[in-house]
Amino acid sequence: MDGNLVIGGLLVLVGMVTLVGRLVAPESAMFAKLGPMKAQYGDRAGTALHVLSYTVMPLVVGATLLATALRG
């Protein structure tokens, strides 16, 4: 089994879990680092960095790794 396939799948899973978590329970303990990021960078920038770091990047990198693994 290709390592890119496994890592890509896990990253997509992490991205999807955080995306669903943001929609269902945005105040959950899963987002404990959001508060400190908002305090350090401001509400808007802190939230944007958090979304990029924990939702968008895992989805993009995971999809890229999956595509690479499936192409061969």
Q: Tell me the H-state helices in 1-72.
A: 3-24, 34-41, 43-51, 57-71
Domain total of the chain: 1
Enclosing domain of residue 56: 3-71
Higher per-residue confidence, 46 vs 1:
46
Instruction: Give percent of the chain with pLDDT exceeding 90.
Output: 89
Distance CA 7, CA 2 (A): 9
Looking at residue 26, its pLDDT comes to: 85
Intra-chain end-to-end CA distance of the chain, in Å: 11
pLDDT higher than 90, residue 2: no
pLDDT tens for 16-41 read 999 999 999 988 898 999 999 999 99
